[in-house]
Every structure is written in C-alpha cells, then in structure tokens.
Structure 1
Amino acid sequence: MPTKSTKKGKVKLKTNRGAMKRFKISANGKVRFRRANRNHINTKRTTKQMRHAKANGVLKECDVKSIYRMFCIE
C-alpha cells in the first residue's frame, strides 16, 4: 500500500462561507451588506421604512477587519 505523502508548508485557509453569502466587498474595499427585516410582515411598515430598508448598508470601519479575516484577506 502506498504511504501518505506529507506536504510541507502552510495550511490552506478556508473562507467563512456564511460570511461570503452575507457580505460583498466593493471595488473601493468597503464591505456592503443587506439590511434586515425585509422579508415578511411588511404590511404594517410604512413606505418610508421599506424605502430605507431597500438600500444596502456599508459596514463601519471597526467591523471591516473581522470580515476581511473571515474572507482570508489581509
């Protein structure tokens, strides 16, 4: 039987797939996300609330570092 070959070097990093589905990085490096509370029971919300919920949000600078770490970006 052949023996297992061991590779030397760094371990391959895995991206957080849940974060990849929820956040996108713009061309300028900003992190964009979809606002919450948009899916159902919208009849009780005003049109102003729904209009403001449509816009995608931009993550604050203090949280960007953790998202970049989840994406394996330094």
Structure 2
Amino acid sequence: MPKIKTLRGAAKRFRVTAGGIKRNQSHRRHILTKKSTKRKRHLRAPSMLHKNDVAAARRMIPYA
C-alpha cells in the first residue's frame, strides 16, 4: 500500500490533541476596527473542531 499524502493546508490549520482536533478562530485578519475588544480577545483563544468535521480532518491529516 502506498503512503497517503497529507493535505498541507490542513496540516497548517489543525493540531491533533488527546481531546480532539484543535483549530484557530476565524475573523481575526482584517476589518478589526468595527469589532469590539471583547470579541477580538475571545477570538484569540483556539477552539476544538466540531465533532461532525473530525472525520474529514482526520482523512486530510492521516499521520498526525
């Protein structure tokens, strides 16, 4: 069986942990002036990938 290639975009976005797959929040790149300080602060914290998306992410990063 040949090796499966990792999808490089997914490898840069996700980290596999014991509790699931960790991801960063979106909406932090531009147009930040209209967003509240509280909203931007909360977007700094990473969150876990939703359980419905875990199977797709694991296919994209098979050896992580």
TM-score normalised by length of structure 1: 0.75
Q: 1:40 aligns with which of 9, 30, 34?
A: 30
What CA RMSD, in Å, does the superposition of the two structures yield over aligned residues?
1.3
Whole-Å Cα distance in 2 between the matches of residues 37 and 23 of structure 1?
17
Shift of 1:57: 1.4
Structure 2 residue aligned with 1:3: none
Shift of 1:52: 1.4
Query: Given the superposition, is the C-alpha separation of residues 69 and 29 from structure 1 closer, same or farther in structure 2, using an over 3 Å criterion?
Result: farther
Matched, 1:53 2:21: no
What residue identity is the alignment partner of 1:47?
A: T
Whole-Å Cα distance in 1 between the matches of residues 4 and 38 of structure 2?
43
Higher strand proportion (structure 1 or 2):
2
Q: 1:20 aligns with which of 11, 34, 57?
A: 11
Whole-Å Cα distance in 1 between the matches of residues 36 and 62 of structure 2?
40
What residue identity is the alignment partner of 2:45?
A: A
* Larger Cα-atom Rg: 1
Instruction: Tell me the number of residue pairs that the alignment of Structure 1 and Structure 2 aligns.
Output: 63
What residue identity is the alignment partner of 2:48?
A: V
Runs (5+) with no aligned partner, structure 2: none
Query: Given the superposition, is the C-alpha separation of residues 63 and 72 from structure 1 closer, same or farther in structure 2, using an over 3 Å criterion?
Result: same
Runs (5+) with no aligned partner, structure 1: 1-9
